[in-house]
């Protein structure tokens, strides 16, 4: 009797446990919630895929724009003489520049020959005056113009950002910059407005800024505008980030300049010491040092000294110039 009772109790407990397993376990274990989450995820997957597809398309557009700008920069790596003259801020034509260079070369050839310096010295001075000096002057004017442009560019970008946030179109904000900014920023943005007015897209017009002002900051500005024109986005935020980057680069350049001033001063002293000593010796005992340009061996030694000094100055210049 006891065995039958225990068997019935065991069977009843097993049945109750099976029923509880079937009906209560899914609710207690969270399997039903997991199933609902899987179903909800399956329903939202097409929308997520659509968003991913849109983001991928935007990323591809940005990468394509960057590739186009990089290829255009590589094609323009060799700058023509007319472009160098324009980058220096001069309104001369190529022919006028060559004529002036030729006049300098002729004068520096005739004067030493008239003074009896010899044909080798006359040819050397003519080459330096006709080829080296004009191009050094172009480089000097170009760097000075670039420095003035970089000083004013962050403020101009901030003006554009404030104009866009106030509801002004980008083109009108560029007009404000072209009207109120100092040179050379004023003329460069005026060129962008004129180029866009004749039918060129604004993104391409801004990208051409790098051709007239070959500095990385101008390239950054052109890339931001070109990408926004092609793929959209929050232009004020992008330009605000660009302004921060420009100011950080300016601070970095000033910090590098301050840290390298000691090395530059040392290089200037070392480079100027031999000519100064030569001048002092000539003033005290001219016959002693005159052998350097009167005797053939002295001329050879003087030429070797000039070559070695030029090499040393070039190496020191490369060591104290930092690119970032």
Position with higher pLDDT, 28 vs 95 = 95
Q: In 3D, which of 212, 214, 222, 220 has the Cα closest to residue 89?
A: 212
Answer yes or no: is pLDDT of 50 > 70: no
pLDDT digits (tens, 9 = 90+) for 128-181: 888 888 888 888 898 899 888 988 888 888 888 888 888 888 888 888 888 888
Predicted confidence (pLDDT) per residue in 168-201, tens digit: 888 888 888 888 888 888 888 888 888 887 878 8
Q: Please give the Cα distance from 118 to 124 (Å, whole number).
A: 10
Instruction: Give the mean pLDDT of 301-321.
Output: 82
85's CB contacts (< 8 A; 6+ apart) are 92, 93, 94, 97, 138
Task: Name the nearest CA neighbour of 185 among 222, 147, 139, 143.
Answer: 147
Q: Which residues of 62-101 are buried (b: 16+ CB within 10 A; e: fewer)?
A: beebeeebeeeeeeeeeeeeeebbbbbbbeeeeeebeeeb
Q: What is the pLDDT of residue 21?
A: 62
Q: What band does 80 get if pLDDT is binned at 50, 70 and 90?
A: confident
More confident residue, 268 or 233: 268
CA–CA separation, 225 and 232 (whole Å): 10
Q: What percent of the chain has pLDDT over 70?
A: 74
Q: What is the mean pLDDT of the chain?
A: 78
The better pLDDT of the pair 39, 62 is held by 39
Is 6 a residue whose pLDDT tops 50?
yes
> What pLDDT does 48 receive?
46
Give the per-residue pLDDT at 317.
78
CA dihedral 12, 18, 22, 23 (to 10 degrees): 30
Highest mean pLDDT among 51-65, 75-89, 146-160, 259-273: 146-160
Residues 6+ apart with CB under 8 A from 300: none
- CA-CA distance, 133 to 135, in Å (whole number)? 6
The string of pLDDT tens digits covering residues 223-252 is 888 887 777 677 788 888 888 888 888 888
The residue to which tokens 């560019």 are assigned: 153
Name the residue with higher pLDDT: 77 or 246: 246
Question: Who's near 170: CB < 8 A, 6+ residues apart?
Answer: 160, 164, 202, 225, 235
Give the pLDDT of residue 30: 58
Query: Which tens digits make up the pLDDT trace of 204-216?
Result: 888 888 888 888 8
Give the ranges where the chain is alpha helix by DSSP (H): 2-23, 25-29, 31-75, 81-87, 94-115, 119-127, 133-165, 170-180, 185-197, 202-207, 209-212, 216-231, 235-259, 261-284, 286-289, 291-294, 296-320
Provide the pLDDT for residue 43.
59
C-alpha 200/C-alpha 193 separation (Å) is: 10
Fold classified for 156-255:
Receptor-associated Protein (1.20.81)
Residue 264: the pLDDT is: 80
Q: In angstroms, rounded to a whole number, what is the distance separating the alpha carbons of residues 194 and 200?
A: 9
CA 227, CA 230: separation in Å to the nearest integer? 5
Residue 7 confidence (pLDDT) above 60: yes
DSSP letter for each residue of 243-260: HHHHHHHHHHHHHHHHHT
Confidence (pLDDT) at 39: 67
Q: Check residue 299 and give its pLDDT.
A: 83
């Amino acid at each position: 009797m006891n065995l039958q009772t225990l068997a019935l109790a065991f069977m009843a407990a097993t049945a109750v446990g099976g029923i509880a397993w079937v009906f209560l376990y899914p609710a207690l274990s969270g399997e039903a919630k997991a199933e609902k989450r899987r179903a909800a995820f399956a329903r939202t997957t097409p929308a997520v895929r659509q968003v991913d597809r849109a983001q991928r398309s935007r990323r591809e557009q940005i990468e394509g724009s960057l590739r186009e700008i990089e290829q255009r920069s590589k094609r323009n790596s060799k700058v023509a003489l007319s472009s160098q003259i324009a980058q220096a801020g001069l309104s001369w034509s190529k022919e006028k520049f060559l004529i002036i260079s030729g006049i300098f070369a002729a004068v520096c050839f005739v004067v030493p020959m008239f003074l009896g310096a010899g044909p080798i010295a006359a040819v050397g001075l003519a080459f330096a005056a006709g080829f080296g000096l004009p191009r050094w002057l172009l480089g000097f004017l170009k760097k000075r113009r670039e420095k003035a442009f970089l000083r004013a560019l962050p403020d101009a970008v901030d003006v554009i950002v404030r104009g866009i946030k106030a509801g002004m179109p980008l083109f009108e904000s560029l007009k404000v910059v072209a009207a109120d900014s100092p040179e050379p920023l004023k003329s460069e943005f005026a060129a962008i407005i004129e180029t866009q007015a004749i039918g060129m897209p604004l993104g391409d017009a801004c990208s051409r800024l790098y051709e007239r002002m070959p500095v990385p900051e101008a390239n950054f500005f052109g890339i931001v505008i070109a990408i926004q024109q092609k793929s959209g986005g929050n232009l004020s935020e992008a330009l605000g980030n660009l302004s921060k980057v420009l100011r950080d680069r300016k601070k970095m350049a000033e910090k590098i300049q301050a840290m390298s001033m000691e090395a530059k001063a040392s290089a200037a002293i070392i480079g100027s010491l031999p000519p100064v000593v030569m001048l002092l010796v000539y003033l005290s005992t001219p016959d002693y040092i005159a052998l350097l340009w009167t005797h053939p061996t002295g001329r050879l030694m003087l030429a070797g000294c000039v070559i070695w000094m030029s090499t040393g100055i070039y190496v020191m210049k490369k060591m104290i110039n930092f690119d970032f």
